[in-house]
Amino acid sequence: MTPEELAQRIERAEGPDRALERQRKIDMFIRICRDSGFRMNSASAIILLAKMLRTQPLALWGEMGIDFATLERIASGEHPAAIRARSAS
């Protein structure tokens, strides 16, 4: 399943506002990882984002709906979403 197909599936299941909010959080996570040069581990990036959004890291992780292995791949720059973010900068 491509990221675009996943985004459409989430939007249909949750409604456009909630899907947009979830995507915004994921985009912020990717941006933190990219800005660190993909040297920050996923736990540190989630903690930083949670502090920025004034929420708890585990609650944020649950809201993002991404498994830990995928977060690790994004944080290391190996996930397609991270690769697109890297090439866009």
- The predicted-structure confidence for 37-49, as pLDDT tens digits, reads as follows 999 999 999 999 9
Q: How far apart are CA 47 and CA 57, in angstroms?
A: 5
In this structure, the number of other CB atoms found within 10 A of the CB of residue 10 comes to 17
For residue 84, what pLDDT is reported? 67
- With contact defined as beta carbons under 8 Å apart, do 32 and 47 qualify? no
Q: Report which of residues 17 and 16 the model is more confident about.
A: 17
Tokens describing residue 67: 């498994």
On the question of pLDDT at 76 being above 80, the answer is yes
Q: How far apart are CA 58 and CA 86, in angstroms?
A: 26
Q: Report which of residues 59 and 20 the model is more confident about.
A: 59
CA distances from 66 to 25, 45, 82 (A): 11, 14, 14
Overall pTM > 0.85: no
In which domain, by residue range, is 27 found? 3-88
pLDDT-based confidence at residue 10 (cuts at 50, 70, 90): low
On the question of pLDDT at 89 being above 60, the answer is no
Instruction: Count the domains in the chain.
Output: 1
